[in-house]
Structure formats: C-alpha cells, structure tokens
Amino acid sequence: MLTKSKLKEEIEKLPETFSIDELVERLIFIEKVENGISQSNKGEVISETELDNEIEKWFK
C-alpha cells in the first residue's frame, strides 16, 4: 500500500509539468515493486527452475 509520504516523495521527483497519466503510471509501478518486495520478504516466490517448468507448460 502506498503512503502519503511516499506519494509526496514521488510527486517531488516529477518534472514541473506532467500528465495525470504519467503520475498514475509511476504510482502503479511503485505499488507493484513494493508488492513484489513484500512477497519476497514473506517467501512467496518460486525458484528459477520452477518458473522454467511453468513456462514450458504454457508452450505445450
């Protein structure tokens, strides 16, 4: 979840003029990265071998 302080920090990084789309895209990206880090910290990941096996199934 995004915090107000993180939102303020990201807004400060934007150029003086920007579109709402740029802001939304950046915030979605940040949320996805934070979710991934959280999942990793909880051990909710798969190994590279498991990933390779899953990808193989997709192309059969």
**Cα separation of 52 and 60, whole Å?**
13
**Cα separation of 9 and 35, whole Å?**
18
> Tokens 């959280």, residue?
38
Q: What is the pTM of this model?
A: 0.69
For the chain, the domain total comes to 1
What lies within 8 Å, CB to CB, of 27 at 6+ separation is 2, 7, 10
- For residue 27, give its domain range: 4-59
pLDDT, tens digit, 9 for 90 and up, residues 19-53: 999 999 999 999 999 999 999 999 999 999 999 99
Does the pLDDT of residue 1 top 80, yes or no? no
| pLDDT confidence of residue 10 | 87
